Amino acid sequence: MNADDYFDRHLPHRVNLLTTFRERYGPKPASSPGRPKLEGEQTRDLFRCSKDIAMLMVRFFCGEMGLYLPKKGDGQKGGTDLEDSRKWHQSFKALRFTAAEAIADVRYRKLLDVMKAANRAVAHIEQADVDHAIKTDKEHLELVEVIDWIEELIRTRLYEPNGRSLAAAMQLPNNVMTPNPPLPNPGVAGSGK
């Protein structure tokens, strides 16, 4: 993959996956400040899907920057803290996000909770952890804080070291998120029914 593919297509798609939960269900959706926030249980499928993919994208981007939550192995207890990976390899210039930096930040516990949910309930589905701990309004707001943090790290640790702009990449035609388009009405002429 060349640099343009990585920074203009690959990462922006994943940034959209990361931020969709915040944009649709966060306290002040950036894409539509006047739009009322959707209630999670009214659109449970969309709510849960966007929440789960946001957690997976937090995990993905931390991995892109060299930070991991160890997984359970044969006879091993699951990781309880984030750590640097000795196997980290980045094809492009990137500033590593270290465990020491994460731990020093006041949002560390929130990031750790998101990573645990991503690893154990969403990505690998361990029986004891299927119903992850990110369920309440307070925890959803904490997820939004983590999304904000990771988005800032993407800008400063992946894009800027490569002389690129995350904001510019997100404005490319295939990367722009639009507000919720109206769903087709099956009873309206021209809707394909």
Per-residue pLDDT of the chain (193 residues; tens, 9 = 90+): 899 999 999 999 999 999 999 988 887 655 555 555 555 556 667 888 889 899 999 999 999 999 988 765 444 455 677 887 767 888 799 999 999 999 999 999 999 999 888 877 665 555 554 455 688 888 889 999 999 999 999 999 999 999 999 999 999 999 998 765 554 445 544 434 3
Look at residue 184 and tell me if it is in a domain.
no
In a domain, 183, yes or no: no
> Within a 10 A sphere around the Cβ of 31, how many other Cβ atoms?
15
What was the pLDDT predicted at 125?
53
Answer yes or no: is 62 within a domain.
Answer: yes
List, in sequence order, the alpha helices (H) in 65-155.
Answer: 99-104, 108-116, 137-153
Would residue 145 count as lying in a domain?
yes
| Both tokens assigned to 65 | 């920057």
Q: Tell me the whole-structure pTM to 2 decimals.
A: 0.81
Q: What is the pLDDT of residue 177?
A: 80
What phi, psi does 67 have (nearest 5°)? -120, 130
Q: Establish if 189 belongs to a structural domain.
A: no
* Domain carrying residue 51: 3-72+79-175
> For the chain, how many structural domains are there in total?
1
**191 within some domain:** no
Q: What pLDDT sits at residue 135?
A: 80
Does residue 88 form part of some domain? yes
pLDDT of residue 24: 83
Is residue 130, in this structure, part of any structural domain at all? yes
Q: What is the pLDDT of residue 189?
A: 45
